[in-house]
């Protein structure tokens, strides 16, 4: 009977494989072609079975990584990108010798969210948001840094620090909104308060930030309390329940729409339309699938919903930007600008990954080994997906038409980027 290591060596033979593989028996399979500065490590036959035996899936392979059966040493992004370009094991090889099953139950027990009710009801959305964001603020600080800005940064030159690039992104949002001291700003999904703090310090703007995360709410309130006198507030609220608020001059939603769900897209934009005063601007910043995805890991099935949706962002959905634009227009908005920041998010995630890997032992102490490995894989695979054009991120600037038909939008983008490239 063929032993598991021999079977894996057969499976991982030609066609060309641009990454090195280390097996649990100490043997190493060299890369075919140019090797990245790292290797894929099979620490157990169970990892090989999860990754290579039909019906292999993206979820099962990721569970093997999360369980510690599969690992990457060295250049995580280089290995994942090479694996994404690999056509996969020969179709003629059907199976490996069976190994003990059930190891994935440990991952499911540690990470599976406990959500109840229909998806995208207010109560379930609150539970899904808290599952992801209320893990540990100290854990998020490990890779986000002290700013705790958890969305795509803006690298105008490419050599900025992460902190400078995040500050540039916040400033870009404010410039696109033509933010002024007399405006009332609504930040939907305000996170730990990065944008509303920036708006107070740089523009003297008042308004409201809302979040469903208890951790984020406490941190945002603490940050605002440390500032000089201002009229900015933050509270726990659902975007669907803002009818008691007067319309805002400017509205921002940065990295929140992914939690809305395609079935609630019209409800979302109708709520944003009501929240924006006539003549006001709304900036929607969200991830979207690309129209011609290259299937980041083409030899694995994606029929089971995906690892990130199951264990990282429960109930999340990425909606094509064309559908987003159509929904915004149905609600009554006029599109004034659409910009892709895909490469910027690939770079942002690479920074986050580098920081997490550099403080990985601390991450394990804070959230446990399974969650720390899951977040490492999520950051790395997302960076590769942006880099390869599997997914994108778009800033959509919308106007709620007013009686005079004019908007505070410049004739060109030059004013938005003035000083950013200096």
CB 355 within 8 A of CB 142: yes
As a whole number of angstroms, the distance between CA 256 and CA 286 comes to 7
Q: What is the pTM of this model?
A: 0.93
Q: What is the mean pLDDT of residues 116-143?
A: 94
Give residue for tokens 């500050």: 167
- 65 burial type by CB count under 10 A (0-12 exposed, 13-18 middle, 19+ buried): buried
pLDDT band at 317 (very low <50, low <70, confident <90, very high): very high
Average pLDDT in the 202-221 region?
96
- Residue position matching structure tokens 């969305």: 151
Q: How far apart are CA 57 and CA 55, in angstroms?
A: 6
pLDDT digits (tens, 9 = 90+) for 278-300: 999 999 999 999 886 555 555 44
Q: Among 410, 383, 348, which Cα is nearest to 84's?
A: 383
Q: What percent of the chain has pLDDT over 70?
A: 89
| pLDDT exceeds cutoff 50 at 303 | no
The string of pLDDT tens digits covering residues 344-382 is 999 999 999 999 999 999 999 999 999 999 999 999 999
For tokens 């999360």, name the residue. Answer: 66
For residue 125, the tally of other CB atoms under 10 A from its CB is 23
Q: pLDDT class for 302, splitting at 50, 70, 90?
A: very low
What does the pLDDT look like over 147-197, one tens digit per residue? 999 999 999 999 999 999 999 999 999 999 999 999 999 999 999 999 999
**Which carries the bigger pLDDT value, residue 47 or residue 10?**
47
| Domains defined along the chain, listed by start | 4-109 (no CATH), 122-417 (3.40.50.150)
* Contacting residues for 63 by C-beta, under 8 A, at least 6 apart: 50, 104, 107, 108, 307
pLDDT for position 389 = 92
Please report the pLDDT score of residue 95 as a whole number: 58
Average pLDDT, the chain: 89
The predicted-structure confidence for 376-385, as pLDDT tens digits, reads as follows 999 999 999 9
Q: Are residues 114 and 311 in contact, defined by beta-carbon separation less than 8 angstroms?
A: no
Q: Please give the pLDDT value at position 413.
A: 83
Q: Is the pLDDT of residue 256 over 60?
A: yes
Q: Contact 94/54 with Cβ under 8 angstroms?
A: yes
pLDDT of 1 above 60: no
- The residue ranges of DSSP E strands in 183-317, in sequence order, are 184-188, 206-211, 232-236, 248-254, 276-289
- Residues in CB range of 394: below 8 A, 6 or more apart: 285, 286, 288, 321, 324, 338, 339, 340, 341
pLDDT on residue 422: 36
Read off the tokens for 151: 């969305």
pLDDT of residue 354: 98
The count of other CB atoms within 10 Å of the CB of residue 42 is: 28
Residue 37 has pLDDT above 90, yes or no: no
The span from the CA of 77 to the CA of 262, in Å, is: 30
């Amino acid at each position: 009977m063929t032993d598991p290591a021999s079977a894996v060596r057969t499976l991982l033979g030609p066609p060309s494989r641009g990454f090195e593989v280390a097996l649990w028996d100490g043997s190493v399979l060299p890369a075919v072609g140019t090797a990245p500065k790292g290797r894929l490590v099979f620490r157990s036959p169970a990892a090989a079975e999860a990754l290579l035996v039909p019906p292999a899936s993206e979820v099962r392979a990721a569970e093997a990584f999360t369980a510690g059966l599969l690992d990457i040493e060295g250049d995580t992004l280089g290995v994942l990108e090479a694996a994404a370009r690999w056509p996969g094991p020969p179709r003629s090889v059907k199976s490996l010798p069976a190994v003990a099953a059930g190891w994935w139950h440990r991952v499911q027990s540690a990470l599976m969210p406990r959500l109840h009710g229909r998806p995208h009801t207010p109560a379930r959305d609150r539970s899904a948001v808290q599952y992801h964001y209320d893990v540990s603020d100290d854990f998020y600080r490990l890779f986000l840094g002290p700013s705790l800005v958890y969305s795509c940064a803006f690298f105008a030159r490419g050599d900025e620090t992460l902190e400078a690039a995040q500050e540039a992104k916040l400033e870009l949002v404010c410039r696109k909104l033509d933010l002024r001291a007399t405006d009332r700003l609504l930040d939907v999904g305000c996170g730990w308060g990065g944008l509303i703090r920036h708006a107070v310090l740089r523009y003297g703007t008042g308004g409201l930030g809302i979040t469903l995360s208890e951790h984020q709410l406490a941190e945002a309130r603490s940050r605002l309390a440390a500032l000089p006198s201002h009229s900015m507030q933050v509270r726990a609220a659902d975007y669907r329940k803002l009818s008691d608020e007067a319309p805002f001059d400017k509205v921002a939603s940065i990295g929140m729409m992914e939690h809305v769900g395609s079935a609630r897209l019209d409800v979302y934009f109708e709520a944003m339309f009501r929240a924006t005063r006539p003549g006001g601007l709304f900036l929607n910043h969200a991830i979207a699938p690309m129209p011609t995805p290259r299937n980041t890991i083409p030899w694995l099935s994606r029929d089971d919903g995906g690892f990130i949706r199951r264990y990282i962002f429960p109930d999340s959905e990425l909606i094509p930007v064309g559908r987003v634009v159509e929904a915004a227009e149905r609600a009554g908005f006029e599109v004034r600008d659409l910009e892709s920041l895909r490469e910027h998010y690939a770079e942002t995630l690479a920074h986050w990954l580098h920081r997490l890997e550099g403080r990985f032992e601390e991450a394990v102490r804070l959230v446990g080994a399974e969650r720390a490995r899951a977040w490492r894989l999520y950051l790395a695979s997302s960076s590769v997906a942006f880099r390869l054009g599997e997914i994108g991120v778009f800033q959509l600037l919308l106007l709620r038409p007013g009686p005079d038909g004019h908007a505070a939008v410049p004739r060109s983008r030059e004013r938005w980027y003035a000083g950013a490239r200096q």
